[in-house]
Amino acid sequence: MDGFEALRGRHLGAIAAAADEAALEEARLAAVGKKGEVALMMRELGQMAPEERKTAGPALNALRDEIEAALKARRAALGDAALEERLRAEWLDVSLPGRPRRRGTIHPVSQVMEECAAIFGAMGFAVAEGPQVETDWFNFDALNIAPEHPARQEHDTFFLHRDAADPRPPHVLRTHTSPVQIRAMQAQGAPIRVIAPGRVYRMDMDQTHTPMFHQIEGLAIDRNVSMANLKWVLEEFFSAYFGAPVRTRFRASHFPFTEPSAEVDIQCSWQGGQLRVGEGDGWLEVLGSGMVHPNVLRAGGIDPDLWQGFAFGMGIDRMAMLKYGIPDLRAFFESDVRWLGHYGFAALEVPTLHG
């Protein structure tokens, strides 16, 4: 019986000590596998004397059952431990904030165009568009710019190359957004209220000029729209754009497409070499404007005896520089990612009027 107890202790011990599935299988084979110790002893029962078999038989059966039960329990325990280990190893905190990825930014010019669209949109202006490659009729003639006008000279305008035999009308890179006035009037008729932001091109390149830049055009035509409406709309716009009341000053000027014409300055101060809009008694010229010339209304298909209105054109790049303190115009178009990262806007910062 001592031998039997030792046998039992050895096998149950080996099962309990099995650290993984392989060790457990080894312990099973050693005990109750075909050539296992307990299995062999059971096979020897046949050669025993009946008296001996009477005690050894049930004892061996009980031991085999006990071993099977121990194997099962150990297998379950190893499975639980493996699961625990996996849960521990694969643990992850889903509440951690995401790792920030470097994203592109919205260019200040795009941002300012959106801001303008939001402000003028609240005043009932829709956004109109036109092509950047424009016929010289839309860019000049329709805007009452005479053929001998200096703006048409080669040194200002990019003309598209064209053979003398080419039947197509001459094209230019539009020198201002004003031709969109004509396209919008032709498309919509009167009354109309639109702004047209976009790229324009001039053969000009120095500290404060780039051959491509941006303008925003405004046009409002109705039965009795006046210069007073123009002044209100512009002051309302500048105040919303700069976030503080901004006074304007109108100076008589001349544009072929308006009569009368005015250049508009906004109030600013230059104290300490710092330009501040909306305070002080200095003035900064920011746009051209006026009452739309009857010839321009006619080119747009609108009867100047029934309708009248105002138009204005303003540089967007400088508006962005003024509001966001950007010192150098040329950097706008160099695509330096450091500059874009610094002055650019997050894609989700969509401008709104209340914003």
> What does the binding site for ligand DAH look like in residue numbers (CB under 6 A)?
176, 178, 217, 255, 257-258, 288-290, 311-313
Burial class (CB in 10 A: 0-12, 13-18, 19+), 63: buried
Cβ of residue 176: shortest distance to ligand DAH, in angstroms?
3
Cβ of residue 336: shortest distance to ligand DAH, in angstroms?
28
Residue 7, Cβ neighbours under 10 Å: how many?
16
Nearer to ligand DAH, 105 or 178 (CB): 178
Residue 226, Cβ neighbours under 10 Å: how many?
13
Measuring CA to CA, which residue among 231, 230, 322, 329 is closest to residue 277? 322
Token digits of residue 218 = 């405004």
Cβ of residue 189: shortest distance to ligand DAH, in angstroms?
19
Cβ of residue 323: shortest distance to ligand DAH, in angstroms?
20
Cβ of residue 170: shortest distance to ligand DAH, in angstroms?
19
Cβ of residue 182: shortest distance to ligand DAH, in angstroms?
11
3-class SS of residue 73: helix
Nearer to ligand DAH, 28 or 176 (CB): 176
Between CA 171 and CA 166 the distance in angstroms is: 11
Nearer to ligand DAH, 310 or 343 (CB): 310
Nearer to ligand DAH, 37 or 204 (CB): 204
**Measured on CA atoms in the order 82, 83, 89, 90, is the torsion positive or negative?**
positive
φ, ψ for residue 334 (rounded to 5)?
A: -95, -10
Nearer to ligand DAH, 63 or 296 (CB): 296
Q: What does R_g of the chain's alpha carbons equal in angstroms?
A: 43
Cβ of residue 293: shortest distance to ligand DAH, in angstroms?
9
Query: What contacts 217, CB < 8 A, 6 or more positions away?
Result: 176, 177, 178, 180, 181, 194, 195, 196, 197, 311, 312, 313
Beta strands 248-255 and 171-173, pairing class: unpaired
Between CA 120 and CA 146 the distance in angstroms is: 31
Nearer to ligand DAH, 70 or 180 (CB): 180
Q: Which residue has the tokens 């003639």?
A: 141
Residue 301, Cβ neighbours under 10 Å: how many?
13
Cβ of residue 221: shortest distance to ligand DAH, in angstroms?
12
Measuring CA to CA, which residue among 243, 206, 220 is closest to residue 324? 243
Nearer to ligand DAH, 201 or 345 (CB): 201
Position 97: which residue type?
Answer: P
Nearer to ligand DAH, 11 or 174 (CB): 174
CA–CA–CA angle 283, 287, 290 (5° rounding) = 115
Beta strands 282-292 and 308-315, pairing class: antiparallel
Nearer to ligand DAH, 56 or 192 (CB): 192
Cβ of residue 326: shortest distance to ligand DAH, in angstroms?
21
